Amino acid sequence: MTAARHRIAVVGAAAAGLAAAEALRRLGWDGVITLVGDEPRPPYDRPPLSKQVLSGAWEPERTTLRDTSQLAALDLDLRLGTRAVAYDPVERTLTLDGDRGDVLRCAGVIAATGVTPRTLPGTDGLRGVHVLRTLDDALALRRRLAVPGRRLAVVGSGVLGAEAAAVARALGHHVELIGSQATPMERVLGREVGELLAEVHRAHGVALRPGRAATGVRAESGRATGVVLTDGTVVEADDVLLAVGSVPAVDWLRGPGAEAAGVDLSDGLGCDEFCAAAEGLYGAGDVARWYHPVLRRHLRVEHRMNAGEQGLAAARNLLAELDPERFGERRPFAPVPYFWSDQYDLKLQAYGVLAGAERTEVLQLGKDPLRLAALYGTSGHATGALAIGLTPRQARSLRGLVATPADWAQARARLAEAVDA
């Protein structure tokens, strides 16, 4: 073995990258592990950014995932504040930017570079325009919200927009939630549950502008003053949060090497059921679109739990590819996705795949409309389940309903049983 065969590079130093690096070490990789992160901070957790960090309940340090001694124990070649600029999967060479501009020969690479927020045209560099992906993003918006009585326009009513709107409203700001969807989180939760959520936001004093897309931001002297909607209406605002989705960070993977190796970069990093995109190249977390062998379709999951779970799976399978005698056979990655969202005192928990459902059925659990279980699916099969206001045991039991695509009627009966229990 040459020295080059003794390095695995994990590109991306957030939840998925950290999980992969830890798994590599724990499973017995005794070569170099290079962990590359474009932010200067050690790995930190993102879900609190739109919750406890934005609200001011937590100081930023609280999101740090591992302390110095825990990181040191992993014996990493840690490259923070460093960006991967190219990877050639044929030569297995990774090029980094920064002072040294290193070209590293690798036995394998795990891509965990996540996503980059989308913005609106013409908003680059405008003061008062925010996105919410990094800790610095969250702290910038938090500083603005530290002054009472701001007018915040949130563009995009998905999970991130809805959570940030709830936090800003709880801090006493005037909040407008603008979204092309008919209700907050409609694409994930469906119209019926979305309407309930809309009512919660209205009851807390958020002004909803559903069914409206934003075309741009109005500005004076380089500072945002409002959001322009498709019908020409302007929503006046001191600050604008753009929560209009994201783009997988795969530019560093593009190039002739990727083409030669047949790497699919059409929506994130296309991976097979083992999370492999090419020999020696695996994907994990928000950036990875992999073939789910049970659901029999490709999925790209931008949720926190998947980051950890897939980081672990990618690490295990890369090791198994490099040395099957030592690390065993590769295993298909077939998780039951999970996410949660906190808005006001409401907790939403979801198992499986809800987005894009053709069919939804909501079971109310009593007089409180915000105690419910719901089933989501397509073509006669249930693929996702939602819990709001259930007991922990009830909520956990929903996972089993959608662990494999179940016949709708059967899943419906089991759901009723689970919440009556």
Partner 1 sequence: MQITIDEAKCCGAGQCVLVAPEVFDQRDEDGIVVLLDASPAAAQHAAVREAATICPAAAIQVRQ
For the bound state, the minimum distance from the C-beta of residue 305 to partner 1, rounded and expressed in Å, comes to: 4
- State the Cα–Cα distance between residues 149 and 233, nearest whole angstrom: 22
Angle of CA points 68, 73, 74, to nearest 5°: 105
Nearest to 277 by CA among 295, 254, 294, 296: 254
Stretch in the footprint of partner 1 (CB under 8 A) among 101-109, 280-288, 341-349, 366-374: 341-349
Q: Does 349 bind partner 1 (CB under 8 A)?
A: yes
Which residue from 11, 19, 159, 167 is in contact with partner 1, where contact means CB under 8 A? 19
Query: Is residue 28 a contact partner of residue 70, using CB atoms and an 8 Å limit?
Result: no
Q: Does 340 bind partner 1 (CB under 8 A)?
A: yes
- State the Cα–Cα distance between residues 317 and 324, nearest whole angstrom: 9
- State the Cα–Cα distance between residues 409 and 70, nearest whole angstrom: 48
45/199 with CB nearer partner 1? 45
Each residue 385-414 as x (binds partner 1 by CB under 8 A) or -, in order, gives ------xxx-xx--x---------------
Nearest to 52 by CA among 158, 154, 170: 170
Q: Does 296 bind partner 1 (CB under 8 A)?
A: no
- Residue found by looking up tokens 């498709």 in the block: 230
Which residue from 169, 304, 330, 414 is in contact with partner 1, where contact means CB under 8 A? 304
Q: Does 135 bind partner 1 (CB under 8 A)?
A: no
Q: Does 6 bind partner 1 (CB under 8 A)?
A: no
Which residue from 74, 80, 140, 305 is in contact with partner 1, where contact means CB under 8 A? 305
Which residue from 32, 39, 45, 174 is in contact with partner 1, where contact means CB under 8 A? 45
Query: Is residue 320 a contact partner of residue 282, using CB atoms and an 8 Å limit?
Result: no
151/304 with CB nearer partner 1? 304
Query: Is residue 177 a contact partner of residue 208, using CB atoms and an 8 Å limit?
Result: yes
Query: Can you list the positions of beta strands (E) in 231-280?
Result: 234-236, 239-242, 246-248, 269-271, 276-278
Residues that bind partner 1 in the complex, under the rule CB under 8 A: 15, 19, 22-23, 26, 45, 47-48, 65, 70, 303-305, 308-309, 311-312, 338-340, 342, 347, 349, 391-393, 395-396, 399
